[in-house]
Chains A and B, each alone.
Chain A
């Protein structure tokens, strides 16, 4: 804000340029985690597969948010605003899934495009 800041070159005012090193480190971590998630999909993890892949995706998302989106150096208000959206997403998905199996019947296969033949053959 003061005059000398703009012309000094050393000070960047309210700008906090990320270091090239940290950007590259985050990028290669993200590539490694992508490889890891592809690798884990080849393992026979059964029902844990979804949890593991979502866990890896969440680590990647955290890295992107903290470093690429600079949340680490951002104002707390911005972080609260953004992260609060996930509370509402959790509420949304949570409430929908909570009673999903209560109306499972309406989600049975309709055989929309099938000839009656198929239904007969299979049942």
Chain B
């Protein structure tokens, strides 16, 4: 195993005392010192991440303390089941990442490749579910403040697959094709190591679509149970009161919804239960109210999703290095550092999930 690392790497540094570790940089005394320095560095980076996210948590805390009723109102549009499912997926990816660090420390090359593949797959599945959540909200007009469409003014259209989903899925679809071709070429030409990289990457791209299908299944189940609950096919929009209006306005088409605002207001006015002492629902259900909640929601979950994408990029890099058998009990720093970053991304989601999805 190690002989392979020797042969394929002409690492110029650190060959004197520690010939078995080609990755020891010359300015470090020994692998442990190198590891400790890197570790302190990654912890410092995580500090900047925590502080960076705290800005968004601050916006959240400020707005929630001033307008708790907006959060109660807007949170009903977030799909709790999908949020909980995604929490489980991320926790599992954290488990496989931590297990991967263990594999690296024990020189279990195959184990590490498998753990990294599972972590990557979970990350892609998380994004697939997120794509369903996002596109469904875009269809309903649950957008950031400037674009937010009042839910009681305009009936939500649509069940079925959002056109946005096709755009979002274009990149993963290309990845599936590309990685599949790469994998087939690697296997047919007998490049075992390349196949070990292309295979997990193909599975990762496919996991995105697995997440999409899981998301669609949960969403349909939820819409069906809601429809059954209300006895109206209301496509899982807001819960109360608007059912009768929605069915009327639905026939007229969305573009004309604005003409009927007076009717809507009357309906929502009388039928919708409002938090006592809180502003009218019409005030909450508008760009300056719920729209700001969705600005915060997209900002926090979006930046989190960007971190997932970044994590996937470095995980892919680790995967390549793992197949080259670079890691051992003296040199597992990169796996450990990426692991720490990955767990931090998980940590942030641990807070985001109850704070955004579970408000009652």
Q: A23–B95 contact, CB under 8 A?
A: yes
Q: B355–A13 contact, CB under 8 A?
A: no
Residues of B within 8 A of A37 (CB): 353-354, 358
Q: B282–A12 contact, CB under 8 A?
A: no
Q: B30–A1 contact, CB under 8 A?
A: yes
Number of A-B contacts defined by CB within 8 Å: 201
The yes or no answer to B289 lying at the interface (CB within 8 A) is yes
Cβ-defined partner of B44 (8 Å) among A1, A81, A122: A81
Q: A53–B358 contact, CB under 8 A?
A: yes
Q: A64–B350 contact, CB under 8 A?
A: yes
Of residues 19 to 68 in A, which have CB atoms within 8 Å of B's CB atoms?
20, 23-24, 26-27, 30-31, 34, 37-38, 41-42, 44, 49, 53-54, 56-57, 60-61, 64-65, 67-68
| Min C-beta distance of B76 to chain A, whole Å | 12
The yes or no answer to B80 lying at the interface (CB within 8 A) is yes
Of residues 57 to 106 in A, which have CB atoms within 8 Å of B's CB atoms?
57, 60-61, 64-65, 67-70, 74-75, 77-78, 81-82, 84-86, 88-89, 92-93, 96-97, 100-101, 104
Residues of B within 8 A of A113 (CB): 148-150, 286-288, 291
Of residues 109 to 123 in A, which have CB atoms within 8 Å of B's CB atoms?
109-115, 117-118, 121-122
The yes or no answer to B283 lying at the interface (CB within 8 A) is yes
Q: B44–A114 contact, CB under 8 A?
A: no
The yes or no answer to B181 lying at the interface (CB within 8 A) is no
Q: B88–A34 contact, CB under 8 A?
A: yes
Residues of B within 8 A of A118 (CB): 261, 265, 282, 286
Binary contact track B284-306/A, C-beta < 8 Å → 1, others 0: 10111101000000000000000
Residues of A within 8 A of B20 (CB): 6
The answer to whether residues A86 and B95 also contact, given A14-B32, A60-B350, A64-B347 and a CB cut-off of 8 A, is: no
Q: B283–A109 contact, CB under 8 A?
A: yes
Q: Count residues of A near B (Cβ-Cβ below 8 Å).
A: 66
Q: A100–B66 contact, CB under 8 A?
A: yes
The yes or no answer to B313 lying at the interface (CB within 8 A) is no
| Min C-beta distance of B347 to chain A, whole Å | 5
The answer to whether residues A100 and B288 also contact, given A14-B35, A30-B91, A68-B94 and a CB cut-off of 8 A, is: no
Q: B282–A64 contact, CB under 8 A?
A: no
Q: B58–A57 contact, CB under 8 A?
A: no
Cβ-defined partner of A82 (8 Å) among B47, B99, B105: B47
The answer to whether residues A23 and B102 also contact, given A86-B50, A110-B288, A121-B262 and a CB cut-off of 8 A, is: yes
Tell me, in angstroms, the Cα distance from A44 to B58 when the chains sit together. 26
The yes or no answer to B220 lying at the interface (CB within 8 A) is no
Tell me, in angstroms, the Cα distance from A63 to B97 when the chains sit together. 15
Q: B47–A85 contact, CB under 8 A?
A: yes
Residues of B within 8 A of A27 (CB): 91-92, 94-95
Q: A68–B97 contact, CB under 8 A?
A: yes
The answer to whether residues A57 and B350 also contact, given A93-B57, A109-B288 and a CB cut-off of 8 A, is: yes
Tell me, in angstroms, the Cα distance from A101 to B65 when the chains sit together. 9
The yes or no answer to B332 lying at the interface (CB within 8 A) is yes
Residues of B within 8 A of A81 (CB): 40, 43-44, 47
The yes or no answer to B360 lying at the interface (CB within 8 A) is yes
Interface hub of A12, A68, A70, A114 (most chain B Cβ within 10 A) = A68
Q: B40–A77 contact, CB under 8 A?
A: yes
Tell me, in angstroms, the Cα distance from A81 to B36 when the chains sit together. 13
Q: B350–A88 contact, CB under 8 A?
A: no
The yes or no answer to B61 lying at the interface (CB within 8 A) is yes
Q: B61–A93 contact, CB under 8 A?
A: yes
Q: B350–A117 contact, CB under 8 A?
A: no
Tell me, in angstroms, the Cα distance from A104 to B63 when the chains sit together. 10
The answer to whether residues A64 and B32 also contact, given A34-B87, A109-B284 and a CB cut-off of 8 A, is: no
Cβ-defined partner of B54 (8 Å) among A31, A56, A89, A114: A89
Q: B343–A69 contact, CB under 8 A?
A: yes
The yes or no answer to B178 lying at the interface (CB within 8 A) is no
Residues of B within 8 A of A12 (CB): 105-106, 329
Q: A92–B282 contact, CB under 8 A?
A: no
**Told that A13-B329, A20-B99, A114-B286 touch, could you supply 5 new A-B pairs with CB distance under 8 A?**
A34-B91, A34-B353, A68-B343, A85-B46, A101-B65
Q: Which 3 A-B pairs have the closest CB atoms?
A: A110-B288, A41-B358, A53-B354
